């Protein structure tokens, strides 16, 4: 079976539009980050979360008022599990007291709907600040490592454009999280450790598609005149289009399965990776390669290449 | 690459890897079939007999099988922190108000950041131009010497705290707990399958500092209460108030009986203890004295609960370090639980001297600042025995026994992070994880067969081996499988076939260029290798950094992603290639084989 057989799309012709679209989306994300900010989970802001599951459906308003009357501060939302609610409140190292407060209030006022506390997460402020720093350090280290590696494997212009593409992918997903944070009850899209894992996965994966395109360009651009570059770039992208799409496709399949089946704890992560891979596929064709092309065009020197893939 | 010798080596390698993976997962399979077997037996007697006759095998299988993470099995993940500020304050000499306020500021800072407490302390002292040696160790020590000493102190305290907590957990009886230290003040505790988390938290939390303290005379207590009352009425203490103006604000909270004992209503307990923490109130107490509240409320004649209020000497007569044995039992009437304690020889002789010198007086038994009982000394106790009563349930007595046996912590520890998953949610997670694995696997396998036919089948075979390798490495290294770990495996399935996609697309191109299948296969593998390597290295790097910086649950994801990515270099390239070589040698491959 073949899906993208012998296409001849003039990708470079659309690059200005693509740059514009990318910048617009990035800008929207930045504005949202500045205005609305991110919906931080307790990993990064500290606090306690309690998941309460009832044996039958109960209205969220009722639970809310019972807990409020009992003096439990915090917000109560539907949780992505059946008949379950998520209570977010301030950090307390004394989880016992919190549990007692919740349990006695619900037992007293909602006797006909037995409940069970199925999960408790409590993160103190010092741990939260520690996690925040770890996340920042991991992101920076990952980007440096990838930059270094791609820099060794490809010449500078390729490597730099590849890393720009990674930033592009991760920042767009970050913007999406800010824009859509708290919009959906099924997935609140909170920033927590799992989202950092998603970002690192996106960063690692983003380069995959890019490298596939780069490899082909590098193979064909050898000893060619700069006037031929545009043709070579376009042909290379068309030749590799099928594998770019299929490699992303198989991974998207599995991430989609995670989104559907793996439950609410993984949902935000799966959403981030799914979006990241989609954007990464687009950026490898419309951002990374065109940037190299423009750079070559402006610098007017023929490429000197390293890392021959001729064997 | 395709010389005879090389081919043999590759085949051997594949065989060895597969066998090792299967061997490593064998106990997991055994463990699973044993539990199936046990659940199929109907009567309890049958299953008991079966367990007894296969005990060694069952134990062995369980030990070596693939463990499920806390989130799947249900359990607690706790991070506790040794209160270094308290530890250093205890070590300081000639403490004064200035020192206390400095330490309070340091404590505040330490609570919200992850900075080193010794550094915070030094910075705070520097800002006030005080040398550390004014309060710590020896006046001749330089600041950096004292810093080093404090750091050692903190390190020792952490190790001791870990051992004591391990003791408590072992005494309580948790299967396979994990207790490790991190940095210089954190203890990480993993407790799989704990059913009574409330009790566990209480057990871990207490410092278990046991003290025997003499009570002050009743009239001293009454005089002290009067002093506090008049200060409150005069408004010099702005602490607790019942919300109404009154001429005797303290006596709205505390009632004194003619016998010279004071009680407080259980509902006002927090108010009163806040009041007693107030520095202005503490200044009104007689020298070397402290006001303490009883640990447990008692029911009065009017059916309300009351706590006793005690005025005790600040300096303990004896501390819990001398306790060698503790035993929870029922008291003489057989209804009240109590804990019997015996002491070492040093404690025994001291105890005999203390009790002999204080006949007719009361000695308070204080645990972590709360008074359990304050019995009157009837006679000299020569054998080093003592009893704690005032306990509400046998369970509580048992927990006291555990903490007393394990010994006192060098400094208070606090829970600063907790992640607890109940068993029912764990079961949900297992189902969800299993479903994602099945669906993810099926989706990828079917897609590959549709798109690449025979070659797709080869990639699918490699994928099975890949998943086997990930699970077997986890089992072999005694790592556990968590829900994020399962997510990592599912994600890896999608990524592992990517290598095959790159190779097959290249092979299709070569065939389209008119090469023979054999030549195309060789070319395809050689030409696609560089981009495969690049993508694997970048994913590995990202996963490795995630593992290095990640904490708790996320590390499970990083681990499976790393193993899966590394394994995929082998399965997607070596294994599929060997399959093709075999098929080619039998002339079973045509241009059609790549879809």
Residue pLDDT, tens place only, B170-183: 888 888 899 999 88
Contact B539 A204 (CB under 8 A): yes
Contact A196/A47 with Cβ under 8 angstroms? no
- Per DSSP, the three-state class of B449 is helix
* pLDDT single digits (tens) A175-198: 999 999 888 877 888 898 999 999
Does residue A1 belong to any structural domain of this protein?
no
Report the candidate in B493, B519, B594, B516 with the shortest Cα–Cα distance to residue A242. B594
Residues of chain A contacting B498 with CB distance shorter than 8 Å: 208, 247, 250-251
Query: What total of structural domains would you count in chain A?
Result: 2
Residue in chain B lying closest to A255 (CA): B491
Same domain, A132 and A118: no
* pLDDT single digits (tens) A199-208: 999 998 888 8
Same domain, A102 and A37: no
Name which residue leads in pLDDT, B470 or B134. B470
Same domain, A151 and A52: no
What pLDDT shows up at residue B1? 46
* pLDDT single digits (tens) A66-91: 999 888 888 898 887 888 999 999 88
Helix, strand counts (H, E) of chain B: 19, 18
With bands split at pLDDT 50, 70 and 90, how would you rate the model's confidence at B266?
confident
What are the CA-CA distances from residue B567 to residues A34, B10, B575 (Å)?
Answer: 42, 15, 11
Residues of chain B contacting A93 with CB distance shorter than 8 Å: 414-416, 418
Same domain, A59 and A157: no
Span of B149-163, B385-399, B470-484 with lowest mean pLDDT: B385-399
What pLDDT shows up at residue B302? 82
Nearest Cβ partner for B542 among A1, A53, A203: A203
Cα–Cα distance for residue pair B92/B86, rounded to 1 Å: 10
Same domain, A199 and A72: no
Does residue A171 belong to any structural domain of this protein?
yes
Beta-carbon count within 10 A of B211 CB: 21
Nearest Cβ partner for B549 among A120, A137, A309: A137
* pLDDT single digits (tens) A11-64: 999 999 999 999 999 999 999 999 999 989 899 999 999 999 999 889 989 999
Cα–Cα distance for residue pair B495/B13, rounded to 1 Å: 23
Same domain, A85 and A228: no
Contact A1 B595 (CB under 8 A): yes
Beta-carbon count within 10 A of B183 CB: 11
Does residue A306 belong to any structural domain of this protein?
no
Contact A252 B494 (CB under 8 A): yes
Contact A85/A76 with Cβ under 8 angstroms? yes
Span of A142-146, A265-269, B351-355, B377-381 with lowest mean pLDDT: A142-146
What pLDDT shows up at residue B561? 95
Residue B257 has pLDDT above 50, yes or no: yes
* Side-chain-side CA neighbours of residue A235 (13 Å): 10
Residues of chain A contacting B502 with CB distance shorter than 8 Å: 212, 243, 247
Does residue A5 belong to any structural domain of this protein?
no
Out of A101, A123, A145, a domain closes at A123
Residues of chain A contacting B448 with CB distance shorter than 8 Å: 250
For residue A151, give how far its alpha carbon lies from the nearest alpha carbon of chain B (Å). 11
* pLDDT single digits (tens) B141-163: 888 888 998 999 899 999 999 99
What pLDDT shows up at residue A309? 45
* Arithmetic mean of pLDDT over chain B: 88
Residues of chain B contacting A215 with CB distance shorter than 8 Å: 530-531, 534
Span of A243-257, B5-19, B231-245, B346-360 with lowest mean pLDDT: B231-245
What pLDDT shows up at residue B212? 93
What pLDDT shows up at residue B5? 66
* pLDDT single digits (tens) B528-538: 998 899 889 98
What pLDDT shows up at residue B390? 79
What pLDDT shows up at residue B175? 82
Does residue A160 belong to any structural domain of this protein?
yes
Residues of chain B contacting A53 with CB distance shorter than 8 Å: 424-425
What pLDDT shows up at residue A310? 42
Nearest Cβ partner for A131 among B112, B526, B551: B551
Contact A263 B494 (CB under 8 A): no
For residue A225, give how far its alpha carbon lies from the nearest alpha carbon of chain B (Å). 24
What pLDDT shows up at residue B54? 85
Question: b/e map of B381-395 (b: 16 or more CB within 10 Å)?
Answer: beebebebebbeeee
* pLDDT single digits (tens) B34-46: 888 888 887 888 8
Residue in chain B lying closest to A310 (CA): B527
Residues of chain B contacting A120 with CB distance shorter than 8 Å: 418-420
What pLDDT shows up at residue B243? 53
Give alpha helix (H) positions in B417-575. Answer: 423-476, 483-512, 517-549, 553-568
Does residue A308 belong to any structural domain of this protein?
no
Q: What integer is the mean pLDDT of B368-392? A: 88
Residue B371 has pLDDT above 70, yes or no: yes
* pLDDT single digits (tens) B75-115: 999 999 999 998 898 888 877 878 888 888 999 888 888 78
Q: Domain with A162 in it: what CATH number?
A: 1.20.1640.10
How many CB pairs (< 8 A) connect A and B?
Answer: 243
Contact A246 B110 (CB under 8 A): no
Report the candidate in A120, A182, A201 with the shortest Cα–Cα distance to residue B562. A201
Cα–Cα distance for residue pair B412/B405, rounded to 1 Å: 17
Contact B296/B391 with Cβ under 8 angstroms? yes
Same domain, A268 and A137: yes
Cα–Cα distance for residue pair A68/A83, rounded to 1 Å: 19
With bands split at pLDDT 50, 70 and 90, how would you rate the model's confidence at A281?
very high
- Per DSSP, the three-state class of B526 is helix
Residue in chain A lying closest to B540 (CA): A204
Same domain, A119 and A161: no
Q: What integer is the mean pLDDT of B515-524? A: 93
Contact B417 A127 (CB under 8 A): yes
Nearest Cβ partner for B425 among A118, A129, A146: A118
Structure tokens at B264: 């407080």
Contact B549 A252 (CB under 8 A): no
Does residue A79 belong to any structural domain of this protein?
yes
For residue A260, give how far its alpha carbon lies from the nearest alpha carbon of chain B (Å). 8
Residues of chain B contacting A200 with CB distance shorter than 8 Å: 542-543, 545-546
Same domain, A166 and A146: yes
Nearest Cβ partner for A250 among B79, B444, B484: B444
DSSP characters over A45-77? H-EEEEEEEESS---HHHHHHHHHHTT--SEEE
Domains of chain B: 1-65 (no CATH), 77-205 (3.30.70.3400), 211-393 (no CATH), 423-594 (1.20.1640.10)
Contact A250 B494 (CB under 8 A): yes
Same domain, A110 and A160: no
Residues of chain B contacting A270 with CB distance shorter than 8 Å: 487
For residue A212, give how far its alpha carbon lies from the nearest alpha carbon of chain B (Å). 6
Cα–Cα distance for residue pair B575/A194, rounded to 1 Å: 33
What pLDDT shows up at residue B3? 54
What is the β-pairing status of strands B67-68 and B480-481?
Answer: parallel
Contact B572/B496 with Cβ under 8 angstroms? yes
Residue in chain A lying closest to B453 (CA): A1
Out of A105, A123, A141, a domain closes at A123
Contact A197 B114 (CB under 8 A): no
Name which residue leads in pLDDT, B476 or A222. B476
For residue A1, give how far its alpha carbon lies from the nearest alpha carbon of chain B (Å). 5
Contact B549 A243 (CB under 8 A): no
Residue B2 has pLDDT above 80, yes or no: no
Nearest Cβ partner for B201 among A95, A142, A257: A95
Residue B352 has pLDDT above 90, yes or no: yes
Residue B242 has pLDDT above 90, yes or no: no
Residues of chain B contacting A253 with CB distance shorter than 8 Å: 440, 443-444, 447, 494
Q: Domain with A53 in it: what CATH number?
A: 3.30.70.3400
Residues of chain A contacting B526 with CB distance shorter than 8 Å: 311
Residue B506 has pLDDT above 50, yes or no: yes
Residue in chain B lying closest to A42 (CA): B417
Residue in chain B lying closest to A244 (CA): B502
Contact A209/A244 with Cβ under 8 angstroms? yes
Same domain, A30 and A171: yes
Same domain, A170 and A31: yes
Residues of chain A contacting B497 with CB distance shorter than 8 Å: 250
Cα–Cα distance for residue pair B153/B146, rounded to 1 Å: 10
Nearest Cβ partner for B198 among A99, A207, A260: A99
Out of A79, A102, A123, a domain closes at A123
Residue in chain A lying closest to B530 (CA): A309
Nearest Cβ partner for B417 among A122, A200, A208: A122
Q: Residue A115 sits in which domain range? A: 47-123
Residue in chain B lying closest to A163 (CA): B538
What pLDDT shows up at residue B592? 86
What pLDDT shows up at residue A79? 87
With bands split at pLDDT 50, 70 and 90, how would you rate the model's confidence at B551?
confident
Contact B459/A268 with Cβ under 8 angstroms? no
End-to-end CA distance of chain A: 29
Residue A285 has pLDDT above 90, yes or no: yes
Which of A237, A250, A310 to substitute to test the interface with B, most B CBs within 10 Å?
A250
DSSP collapsed to 3 states, B283-323: CCCCCCEEEEEECCCEECCCCCEEEEEEEEECCCCEEHHHE
Does residue A84 belong to any structural domain of this protein?
yes
Which of B413, B417, B594 to substitute to test the interface with A, most A CBs within 10 Å?
B417
């Amino acid at each position: 079976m073949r899906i993208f057989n012998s296409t001849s799309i003039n990708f470079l012709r659309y690059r200005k539009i693509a740059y514009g679209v990318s910048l617009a989306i990035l800008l929207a994300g930045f504005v949202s980050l500045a205005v609305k900010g991110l919906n931080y989970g307790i990993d990064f802001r500290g606090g306690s979360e309690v998941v309460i599951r009832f044996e039958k459906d109960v209205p969220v308003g009722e639970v809310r008022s019972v807990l409020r009357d009992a003096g439990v501060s915090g917000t109560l939302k539907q949780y992505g599990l059946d008949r379950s609610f998520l209570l977010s409140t301030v950090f307390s190292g004394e989880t016992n007291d919190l549990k007692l407060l919740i349990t006695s209030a619900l037992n007293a006022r909602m006797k006909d709907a037995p409940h069970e506390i199925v999960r408790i997460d409590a993160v103190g402020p010092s741990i939260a600040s520690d996690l925040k720093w770890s996340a920042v350090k991991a992101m920076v280290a990952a980007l440096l490592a990838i930059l270094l590696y791609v820099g060794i494997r490809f010449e500078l212009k390729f490597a730099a454009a590849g890393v720009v593409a990674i930033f592009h992918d991760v920042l767009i997903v970050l913007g999406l999280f800010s824009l859509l944070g708290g919009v959906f009850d099924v997935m609140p899209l909170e920033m927590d450790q799992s989202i950092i894992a998603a970002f690192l996965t996106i960063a690692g994966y983003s380069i995959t598609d890019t490298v596939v395109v780069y490899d082909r360009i590098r193979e064909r651009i050898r000893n060619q005149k700069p006037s031929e570059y545009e043709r070579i770039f376009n042909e290379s992208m068309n030749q590799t289009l099928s594998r770019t799409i299929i490699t992303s496709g198989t991974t998207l399949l599995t991430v989609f399965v995670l989104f559907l089946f793996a439950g609410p704890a993984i949902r935000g992560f799966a959403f981030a990776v799914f979006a990241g891979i989609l954007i990464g596929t687009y950026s490898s064709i419309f951002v990374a390669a065109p940037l190299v092309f423009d750079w070559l065009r402006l610098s007017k020197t023929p490429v000197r290449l390293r890392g021959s893939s001729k064997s | 690459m395709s010389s005879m010798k090389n081919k043999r080596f590759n085949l051997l390698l594949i065989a060895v890897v597969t066998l090792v993976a299967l061997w490593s997962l064998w106990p997991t399979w055994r463990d699973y079939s044993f539990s199936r077997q046990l659940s199929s037996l109907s009567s309890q007697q049958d299953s008991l007999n079966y367990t007894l006759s296969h005990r060694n095998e069952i134990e062995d299988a369980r030990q070596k099988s693939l463990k499920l993470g806390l989130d799947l099995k249900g359990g607690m993940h706790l991070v506790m922190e040794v209160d270094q500020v308290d530890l250093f304050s205890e070590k300081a000499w000639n403490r004064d108000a200035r020192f206390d306020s400095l330490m309070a500021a340091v404590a505040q800072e330490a609570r919200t950041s992850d900075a080193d407490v010794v550094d915070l302390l030094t910075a705070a002292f520097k800002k006030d131009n005080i040398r550390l040696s004014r309060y710590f160790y020896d006046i001749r020590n330089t600041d950096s010497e004292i810093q080093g000493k404090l750091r050692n102190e903190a390190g020792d305290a952490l190790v001791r705290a870990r051992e004591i907590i391990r003791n408590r957990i072992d005494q309580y009886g948790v299967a396979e707990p994990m207790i490790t230290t991190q940095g210089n003040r954190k203890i990480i505790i993993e407790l799989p399958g704990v059913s009574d988390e409330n009790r566990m938290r209480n057990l871990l939390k207490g410092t278990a500092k046991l003290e025997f303290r003499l009570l002050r005379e009743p009239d001293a207590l009454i005089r002290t209460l009067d002093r506090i009352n008049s200060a409150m009425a005069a408004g010099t203490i702005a602490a607790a108030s019942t919300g109404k103006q009154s001429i005797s604000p303290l006596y709205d909270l505390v009632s004194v009986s003619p016998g010279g004992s004071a009680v407080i209503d259980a509902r006002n307990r927090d108010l009163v203890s806040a009041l007693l923490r107030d520095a202005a109130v503490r200044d009104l107490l007689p020298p070397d004295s402290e006001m303490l509240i009883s640990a447990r409320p008692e029911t009065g004649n009017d059916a309300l609960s009351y706590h006793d209020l005690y005025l005790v000497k600040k300096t303990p007569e004896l501390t819990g370090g001398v306790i060698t044995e503790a035993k929870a039992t029922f008291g003489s009437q057989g209804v009240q639980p109590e804990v019997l304690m015996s002491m070492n020889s040093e404690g025994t002789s001291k105890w005999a001297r203390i009790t002999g010198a204080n006949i007719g007086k009361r000695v308070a038994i204080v645990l972590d600042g709360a008074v359990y009982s304050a019995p009157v000394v009837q006679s000299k106790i020569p054998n080093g025995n003592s009893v704690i009563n005032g306990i509400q349930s046998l369970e509580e007595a048992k927990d006291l026994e555990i903490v007393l046996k394990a010994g006192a912590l060098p400094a208070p520890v606090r829970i600063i992070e907790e992640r607890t998953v109940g068993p029912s949610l764990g079961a949900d997670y297992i189902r969800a994880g299993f479903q994602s694995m099945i669906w993810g696997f099926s989706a990828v396998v079917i897609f590959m067969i549709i798109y690449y036919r025979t070659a797709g089948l080869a990639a699918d075979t490699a994928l099975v081996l890949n998943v086997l390798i990930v699970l077997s490495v986890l089992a072999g290294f005694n790592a556990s499988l968590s829900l994020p770990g399962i997510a990592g495996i599912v994600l890896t399935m999608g990524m592992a076939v990517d290598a095959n996609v790159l190779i097959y697309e290249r092979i299709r191109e070569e065939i389209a260029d008119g090469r023979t299948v054999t030549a195309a296969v060789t070319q395809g593998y050689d030409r696609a290798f560089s981009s495969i390597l690049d993508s694997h290295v970048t994913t590995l790097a990202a996963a490795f950094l995630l593992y290095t910086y990640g904490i708790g649950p996320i590390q499970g994801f990083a681990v499976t992603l790393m193993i899966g990515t590394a394994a995929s270099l082998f399965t997607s390239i070596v294994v599929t290639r060997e399959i093709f070589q075999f098929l080619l040698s039998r002339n079973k491959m045509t241009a059609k084989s790549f879809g």
